[in-house]
Structure 1
Amino acid sequence: MAEPVGVPPPRVSPEHEPVLAELARDFLRERRAERRWRNLFRLFWLTLAALLVYSLWMQGRHVTPSATPHTALIEVRGEIAADTEASAELLLAALKDAFNDDAAQAIVLRINSPGGSPVQAGIVYDEIKRLKKLHDKPVYAVVEEVCASGAYYIAAAADEIFVDKASVVGSIGVLMDGFGFTGLMDKLGIERRLLTAGENKGMLDPFSPLPPKQRAYAQAMLDQIHQQFIAVVREGRGKRLKETPDTFSGLFWNGEQAVQLGLADRYGNLDFVAREVVKAEDIIDYTPKDNVAERLAKRFGASIGAGAVRALKEMAPIR
């Protein structure tokens, strides 16, 4: 039986061995260099990602300290409510930072808000009064487009209120809004099945009739909160306030009328107040803002807890 014929491996002549050895060394050097560069790039991107996360987390949370005398600015924008940029939590943090800064000559609240929660506004109002007494620093409110309802509640704590002639000011009142669907349900033949333990537990349910007793109770509560609002405005404005039958009716006025009624003091914007009133033209913004990481965390938390708070959201809000 014939034996298979094998192909002998190629032989390297002695004169080629140094060349092959050098090629092998070059190949190994290139592979090591590639690994080093790959690791450097990974480290670079990891560092960049860490810096990005850190900057997103710290964004808007701290004010760069300044030894130069300046005007401290705090923005009150949008709805005054929990988990907004005009929440009491954020505004209180800004107020404390501004009052504690010895270089801040005065605090200016630049307001552009239709109002919101009387609870949140009341917390901010009380903290402004406390910090003013503690630090003996003036507080000025500068109104841009709107300073209404809860926003005016906060502005009443200021030593002076500055407006534009066309600003909207006032709306000193309280409301609770919602919908009632009982008539529509009757027409459609829909029966509401609501079981409660406690005769008033289903109060303000939009699919149930509103009994006179519950209506009277809700109205009495609104009237009491309204009186609290009125007391705050009277305390803050003092003898400057020229009361009329409409002052606390929920009406609002333009800036020119507000000055005439004593709801505001004079015309002026932020730069005017810093330059002419505070005498410190440099303006530093102390307004803390939710950073991106916090917004994502809140959104994630809100999605998890949506089922738990749905019943509370269906209740009529007070503003």
Structure 2
Amino acid sequence: MPEQTESAPLLELSKCEQIFRTKRGDVRAVAGVDLEVRPGKVLCLVGESGCGKTTTARAAAGLTRPTAGWVRYKGEDVNTMDSASRQAFREAVQYIHQDPYASLNPVRTVYSTVTAGLRRHKLVKTRTEARAKAAELLELVDLTPAESYLDKYPHQLSGGQRQRVAIARALAMGPQVLIADESTSMLDVSIRVSLLNTLGRLRDDLDVGFLFITHDLAVAKYFAWDGEIAVMYLGEIVEQGPTPQIINDPQHPYTKALISAVCEPDPRLAREKKTVRLRSSEIPSLTALPSGCTFHPRCPLFEPGLCDASAPPLSLINGDARRLACHVVARDHGPARAGAN
């Protein structure tokens, strides 16, 4: 049988960096991040609040311009696109915001919200055609019967229904990439699972690539089991690889700490679960980052003269499909290829 080749990435971030100038000093929100989103695949970006996930997502969507590095869509640099290519990019890469209460205009009906882009770009010719398309999109996100939602306002909907409307709006332009920024974090658990199932079906049926932002590794495990997880700490990717490897056999101390913090519903397994104790619970200031590995003040594997001397490169672990940025773990696994994808 011929060897299967991996599809080319739709969206790439290469050495992407974002620095904000403040009165207290420069804030390095994103530090040289490399990420790829492929058709029909999920890349989960995971980390604590304030680690740079949303800043990375906004750069990927073209909402902000990186201080350094590149964002490429189908191999073309977003910042050097002509107007036609830029328009195609803006239609193909859609953003789903975290807050379903703030992301919808309160004075617009569901019909007006979902069809705004279609009417703006003259993709529908009549109101009848627009309503039919809106109903089709609502059916796609499991808001049925669609006719009962079209003329409602956001305040007449539940949180889960509002987020489904936001997803329908994102799907209206026929996107190839969806960037979901904590899009389920403000919903109840039962609604969250239902929405994740809807997103999973859309991924499979429409072959849409996902950049899925979350602080919850349980959500990442559920939604991206067949995809990848990239773990971010203070603007840097510290571990990245296939989801089963990251969840079942984490290698970076920070990843282990995140996984140990996930609640275990089974009391027996909860008693057996190992808790990772960090050296400190304090997150360093972004205006005064530690030398060397930025995680070393909190890391249980810290070795003086090594971890605080130089920043570890993101390198492939021998015999593994993951990349890791840790001097101690990389040394224990033997030499690896630095900077490989």
Question: TM-score, normalization: structure 2?
Answer: 0.23
Of Structure 1 and Structure 2, which has the larger fraction of its residues in helix? 1
Of Structure 1 and Structure 2, which has the larger fraction of its residues in strand? 2
Question: TM-score, normalization: structure 1?
Answer: 0.24
* Bigger Rg, structure 1 or 2: 1
